[in-house]
């Protein structure tokens, strides 16, 4: 069977709906709204299919085809049919159809380059990116997405549900299998921003390297697991706790000094409306203090209260290095 | 690291110096009119840093031959002067800053001893002390076995009285220098580290014991010596290990032979970290407790530096109370807490080192 890229009425049973080779979108189960719309207004935008071996493989409009299939009594659906010799064009169109209607999610970008990579390399994709992705992409970025596509499918699942962002996923792809497995497990149990994900990946890896410990062993340590199993915390809070724990483990002395300074500072701050600036990482010896005032009298009161802090044991404690 | 290819700047005239180098390298030189040929070759390699270590480019120094050490902001520097005789190194240390410093890194030997003469003569004519070293952008003695340059420098410095030459190395390449009439104007200096660090972070360098034996040979020939604990690396047991290095030094050479001992802990531009991670996969060097220093370089968290410095300084002082010990790029707090003073005035640290130079190398004391 041959066809042209023109509208044809296709028998629904001739469409291999389970062949998802061109699908880059995430399957959404609930079709009820779409079915309602098709019932009320008809199929506004026909799906695209590829004529192949006497049947048709969906290129775009997977959900529309499924919705029409579920309408009782409907046997045919209008489709744009791509000819058999247009497999590459089908792949490009599968991506473009989505990319020109909205911004692709991270998971979709990964699936898109994985699909296109069957026919072209990163350089070629970059050259045609404006027409396919609706925006220019450089070869380095595309290579990063391709690297992410090599991660286990659970990792791509995390991308889909927003627990993993693209940049951390790209970083993960550079690690060996044992680390990747642990990161997949870890990120499935927390939810933090992309920057925090990167922090967690870096700290976790560096602790393992520093302490020469296998990632699985570290992950299964009692303290780590206790944090992840805390029922009282939501996924975001658990993520923050994990990040803080890793920082303490990675920088034990620095964190201890920070902790000590914070407790002194907490007690000092209860003595007046002052703001203290501690030297970053305790490298410099310059400390700062500031306060607001509303009048001369207010100023005098604050200065007196500030000067009384000079003998405060917590100020001395904070300055002790 | 063996030299696999030699590129010869085609603008160089033939000379005894170049003939000597080429005759000792069993590699046919390839003339190049444009250094970009070498740069491109290095840049195209999977590991440009590693590749550059086996490609020697013999050329002329096109910049300043004598230049002040750039130092770093916020940390006290020692007013050193650099004699620029070449770049990069055939050895391969994980912590080597040169991996990230040159773009691309090129193993250059600057031929033309005549080129060194004029700026040195100018320095020798001035009414001030100079401490001059060749070991900032390269190791001072990597080319000693095949070039006349170190011999030339030792002989040149021997005939004046306001400048000290420091040849800083991790090699034991001193044979051609031993019988020279150095007039104590050349200090032979070794960067030292613990055997564990040498084993895990240095490739192609010599063992600690070999360095100390070479130092002893030089001492026997009347050369003043120096040692540089740089970079100190913090790891479990490092305090004991560094204490043992100090013990080893003083069981090889006499305190009176040592002009100075410098101490500096590992610090690095953030851009060095991925290079180390890629090139030294099993190194744990980068995973110490580093913080971003005031000069935007990563440094060990200060209390950790101070703790180790204190131990080393106290121990060195036990062995050699009068040897000048100084810190490379540290701040007032570190000095105060470890040495009990801070040479914070303009040129004060430099002056302390000048005094050590004058007394050990018989420089003109009137210039202090
Ligand atoms: S010996 Fe010195 S210059 Fe050579 S690689 Fe090691 S640190 Fe760098």
- Chain segment A208-217, per-residue pLDDT in tens: 999 999 999 9
How is the beta sheet containing A48-52 ordered, strand by strand? A7-11, A76-82, A48-52, A55-60
pLDDT at A17 exceeding the cut of 60: yes
Mean per-residue pLDDT, A250-278 = 92
Q: Distance from the CA of B333 to the center of ligand 1, in angstroms? A: 29
- State the pLDDT at residue A1: 37
Mind listing the pLDDT tens digit for each residue in A96-108?
999 999 999 999 9
**Site residues for ligand 1, CB cut-off 6 Å:** B 89, 91-93, 96, 98, 138-139, 170, 205
Tokens of B219: 């001492």
**Does a structural domain hold residue A142?**
no
Residues 6+ apart with CB under 8 A from A130: A136
Whether cis (ω within 30° of 0) applies to the bond prior to B231 is yes
For chain A, the average pLDDT equals 93
Confidence of residue B1 (pLDDT cuts 50, 70, 90): low
> Looking at B43-47, B312-316, B342-346, which range is the least confident one?
B342-346
User: Where does the pLDDT of residue B178 fall: very low under 50, low under 70, confident under 90, or very high at 90 and above?
Assistant: very high
By CA distance, what is A251's nearest residue in B? Answer: B289
Together in a domain, A233 and A302: no
**A206 in contact with chain B, both atoms CB, cutoff 8 A:** yes
- pLDDT, tens digit (0-9, with 9 covering 90-100), for B117-144: 999 999 999 999 999 999 899 999 999 9
Domain boundary among A189, A221, A250: A250
Helical spans, DSSP H, in B16-143: 16-24, 36-44, 48-52, 98-101, 113-124
Q: Is B18's pLDDT higher than 90?
A: yes
Å from A178 to nearest chain B CA? Answer: 16
Cα A165 from Cα B340, distance rounded (Å): 51
Please check whether residue A125 lies inside any domain of the structure: no
Strands A7-11 and A76-82: antiparallel
Q: Which CATH number characterizes residue A96's domain?
A: 3.90.1530.10
Q: Are residues A155 and A218 in the same domain?
A: yes
**DSSP for B164-227?**
EEEEEESS---GGGTTS--TT-EEEEEE---HHHHHHHEES---HHHHHHHHHHHHHTT--EEE
pLDDT over threshold 90, residue B106: yes
Both A90 and A4 in one domain: the answer is yes
Among protein residues, the one whose CA lies closest to atom 8 of ligand 1: B96
Q: Is residue A4's pLDDT more than 70?
A: no
Segment A5-24 shows an average pLDDT of: 92
CA distances to A271, A274, A290, A295 from A299, rounded to whole Å, are: 16, 12, 12, 6
Q: Is residue A272 situated within a structural domain?
A: yes
The per-residue pLDDT of chain B, averaged, comes to: 95
Give the model's pLDDT for residue B88: 97
Q: Which of B137, B170, B203, B210 for a ligand 1 pocket mutation test, highest count of atoms within 8 Å of Cβ?
A: B170
CA distance linking residue B120 with residue B84, whole number of Å:
11
Q: Note the pTM of the prediction, 2 decimals.
A: 0.88
Q: Is residue A219 part of a domain?
A: yes
Instruction: Give the residue extent of every domain in chain B.
Output: 63-103+114-367
Q: pLDDT-derived band of residue B308, with 50, 70 and 90 as boundaries? A: very high
Query: Is A320 an interface residue toward B (CB < 8 Å)?
Result: no
B63-103+114-367: CATH topology: pyruvate-formate lyase- activating enzyme (3.80.30)
Its domain, for residue A306, covers 265-319
Instruction: State residue B243's pLDDT score.
Output: 98
Maximum Cα–Cα distance across chain B: 57
Rg (chain A; Cα; Å): 29
Residue A136 lies in a domain: no
A283 shares its domain with A245: no
Report ipTM for this prediction.
0.88
In the predicted model, is pLDDT for residue A5 greater than 80? Answer: no
Listed in sequence order, the DSSP H helices in chain A are 32-41, 62-69, 87-99, 106-116, 122-127, 129-133, 139-149, 153-160, 166-173, 177-187, 194-210, 215-219, 222-228, 235-250, 252-269, 296-308, 313-319
Task: Tell me whether residue A22 is in a domain.
Answer: yes
pLDDT for A321 equals 81
From A190, A220, A250, the end of a domain falls on A250
SS3 B88: strand
Interface probe, candidates A281, A287, A320, chain B, greatest B C-beta count within 10 A: A281
Report CB contact under 8 Å: A281, B287.
Answer: no
State both tokens at B157. 């410095």
Confidence of residue B26 (pLDDT cuts 50, 70, 90): confident
CB-CB neighbors (< 8 A) of B301 in chain A = 251, 253-254, 257, 281-282
């Amino acid at each position: 069977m041959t066809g042209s890229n023109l509208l044809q009425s296709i028998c629904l049973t001739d469409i291999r709906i389970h062949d998802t080779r061109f699908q880059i979108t995430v399957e959404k189960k609930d079709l009820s709204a779409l079915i309602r719309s098709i019932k009320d207004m008809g199929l506004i935008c026909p799906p695209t299919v590829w004529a192949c071996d006497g049947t048709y493989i969906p290129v775009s409009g997977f959900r529309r085809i499924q919705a029409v299939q579920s309408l009782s009594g409907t046997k045919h659906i209008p489709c744009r049919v791509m000819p058999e010799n247009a497999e590459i064009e089908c792949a490009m169109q599968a991506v473009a159809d989505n990319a020109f209607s909205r911004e692709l999610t991270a998971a979709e970008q990964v699936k898109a380059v994985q699909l296109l990579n069957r026919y072209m390399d990163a350089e070629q994709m970059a050259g045609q990116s404006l027409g396919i992705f609706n925006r220019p992409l450089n070869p380095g970025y595309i290579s990063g997405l391709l690297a992410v596509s090599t991660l286990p499918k659970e990792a791509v699942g995390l991308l889909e549900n927003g627990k993993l962002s693209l940049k951390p996923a790209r970083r993960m792809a550079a690690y060996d299998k044992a680390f990747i497995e642990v990161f997949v497990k870890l990120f499935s149990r927390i939810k933090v921003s992309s920057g925090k994900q990167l922090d967690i990946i870096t700290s976790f890896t560096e602790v393992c390297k520093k302490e020469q410990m296998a990632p699985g062993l570290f992950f299964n340590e009692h303290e780590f697991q206790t944090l992840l199993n805390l029922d009282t915390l939501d996924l975001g809070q658990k993520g923050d706790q994990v990040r803080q724990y890793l920082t303490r483990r990675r920088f034990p002395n620095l964190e201890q000094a920070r902790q000590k300074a914070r407790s002194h500072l907490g007690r000092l701050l209860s003595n007046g409306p002052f703001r203290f600036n501690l030297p970053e990482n305790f490298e410099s010896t310059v400390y700062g203090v500031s306060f607001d005032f509303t009048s001369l009298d207010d100023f005098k009161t604050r200065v007196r209260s500030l000067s009384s802090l000079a003998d405060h044991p917590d100020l001395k404690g904070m300055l002790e290095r | 690291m063996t030299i696999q290819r030699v590129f010869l700047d085609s603008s160089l005239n033939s000379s005894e110096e170049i003939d000597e180098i080429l005759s000792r390298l069993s590699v046919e030189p390839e003339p190049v009119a444009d250094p970009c040929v070498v740069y491109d070759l290095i840049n195209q390699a999977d590991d440009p840093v590693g590749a550059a270590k086996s490609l020697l480019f013999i050329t002329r120094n096109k910049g300043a031959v004598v230049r002040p050490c750039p130092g770093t902001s916020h940390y006290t520097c020692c007013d050193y002067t650099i004699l620029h005789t070449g770049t990069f190194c055939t050895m391969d240390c994980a912590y080597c800053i040169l991996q990230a410093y040159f773009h691309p890194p090129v193993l250059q030997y600057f031929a033309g001893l005549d080129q060194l003469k004029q700026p040195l003569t100018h320095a020798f004519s001035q009414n001030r002390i100079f401490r001059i070293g060749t070991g900032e952008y390269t190791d001072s003695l990597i080319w000693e076995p095949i070039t006349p340059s170190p011999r030339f420098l030792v002989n040149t410095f021997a005939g004046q009285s306001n400048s000290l030459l420091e040849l800083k190395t991790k090699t034991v390449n001193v044979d051609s220098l031993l019988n020279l009439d150095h007039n104590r104007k050349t200090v032979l200096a070794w960067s030292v580290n613990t055997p564990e660090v040498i084993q895990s972070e240095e490739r192609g360098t010599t063992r600690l014991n070999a360095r100390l034996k070479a130092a002893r040979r030089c001492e026997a020939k009347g050369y003043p010596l120096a040692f540089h604990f740089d970079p100190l690396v913090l790891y479990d047991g490092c305090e004991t290990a560094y204490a043992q290095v100090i013990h080893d030094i003083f069981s090889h050479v006499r305190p009176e032979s040592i002009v100075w001992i410098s101490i500096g802990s590992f610090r690095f531009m953030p851009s060095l970290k991925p290079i180390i991670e890629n090139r030294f996969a099993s190194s744990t060097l980068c995973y110490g407790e580093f913080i971003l220093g005031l000069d935007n370089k990563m440094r060990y968290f200060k209390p950790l530096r101070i703790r180790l410095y204190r131990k080393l300084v106290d121990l060195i002082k036990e062995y050699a109370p009068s040897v000048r010990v100084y810190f490379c790029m540290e701040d007032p707090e570190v000095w105060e807490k470890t040495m009990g003073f801070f040479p914070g005035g303009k040129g004060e640290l430099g002056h302390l080192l000048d005094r050590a130079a004058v007394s050990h190398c018989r420089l003109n004391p009137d210039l202090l």
